[in-house]
Structures are given as C-alpha cells and as structure tokens.
A and B are shown apart, each in its own frame.
Chain A
Amino acid sequence: NAGVMQNPRHLVRRRGQEARLRCSPMKGHSHVYWYRQLPEEGLKFMVYLQKENIIDESGMPKERFSAEFPKEGPSILRIQQVVRGDSAAYFCASSPGGRTEAFFGQGTRLTVV
C-alpha cells in the first residue's frame, strides 16, 4: 500500500489563478480529511469527506474554496482566484472509518506569487 498520495508536492500560482490539489487515499479508505498549515502555525482542519459526500466543512473558508471526493478518482481541493494568504502547506489524510486512525500524505506546498 503506497500510502496517501498527494500531488503535486509543490505548486506555484499567480494571484487570481486557480489551484487544484489532489489526494489519493490509501486503498480501502473511504474517508478523506484536508488540513491547512500556515507558516508558524499548526495544522488546521478544513473539510471531511466520504465518497461523493461532504460530511463536515466547518473549517473551509466561505469563498473560493471547494472540495470533492468523487466515486472514482482522487479527492480534489480547489482554490479559485488564489491570493497571497493562501500560500500554505495543504495536507490530506485518509482513514477506513470515521473513528479510526487517519494516515497523512506528504502535503502540497502552495506558493502564490
């Protein structure tokens, strides 16, 4: 099992562009979580998804951010019209069930220039 795979590892976008971050969960895992880590801060929960459903998006900014986890394919975190403040490391985690240990990916470092 290759573990949680995130790509790209590094992403550079100009202000106003869109950023798409992908997360392939571990085999057999149907729960995906996205976290954001701003410089000098801890990881902050953004959204929790199961296949085709958003379970908890209480940590998602109200505008420009969206997430999906389709029946087939990876989970996508999409940031529209990026701004400098979106520069951060974005981590994805997956688990086989909601109350079991989640396994983290290596993160995507987004830089907005």
Chain B
Amino acid sequence: AQRVTQPEKLLSVFKGAPVELKCNYSYSGSPELFWYVQYSRQRLQLLLRHISRESIKGFTADLNKGETSFHLKKPFAQEEDSAMYYCALSPLTGTASKLTFGTGTRLQVTL
C-alpha cells in the first residue's frame, strides 16, 4: 500500500528565512511525487511535480529514493507563501491523477 507522511501540521518561519516542508513516502514501485498548495479561500493547485524538475515560485523538491523523501524547499520565505501544502504520490504507471495525499502542512510566514 502507498502512504505519504507529512510530519509537521504547522511550520512557522520568519520572512526571509529558509523553508523546508518534509514529505516521506512508502511505495513498492516507482512513484511520481507532487506538491500541491492551497492558498486561503482558493482551490488546491499543483505547485510542482518531480518529473518536471522545475522551480516554481522559488520552490524546489528533489526525489530521494534512498530516503524515500520529497521535501519541499525554498531559500527565502515570502509572506505570500503562507498556505497549506500537500505532498502527494501517484504510481508512475497508470493514472497520474489517482493520488495519495499526505495530511498537509500549514506554512505560516511572519514578519
């Protein structure tokens, strides 16, 4: 069975400080990993996926198969980064959008 763990419910950082949102997964096959973000009163939206290896809004995430992790990082937090962040997994084969989500981490960026 596949599982995604986000150990922190809340992460509070100061503006300009580095951010790392943790995500660990368990899956026996080859996974595709995603980060989704939900800003206040907005819908869930895709932030980035490991396959595309992009940096979106200054965020990056590297898939570490040895540690089964996909932590989300940003060197300098901005106020507008405050949101709920969900890590998600999908089998690499089959349907991309059948996702297994973590419980989410609320990022709070303060002045």
Contacts and interface: CB of A to CB of B under 8 A. Distances in A.
A95 interface: yes
Contacts of A104: 43-45
Q: Is the interface of B mostly helix, strand, loop or mixed?
A: loop
A80 interface: no
Contacts of B104: 42
A3 B49 CA distance: 21
Give the interface size class of chain B: 20 to 34
Give the interface size class of chain A: 20 to 34
A72 interface: no
Contacts of B95: 48, 55-56, 98-99
Interface string B81-111: 0000010000000111111111110000000
Which 7 A-B pairs give the minimum distances between C-beta atoms? A42-B101, A102-B97, A104-B44, A43-B101, A99-B96, A42-B103, A106-B43
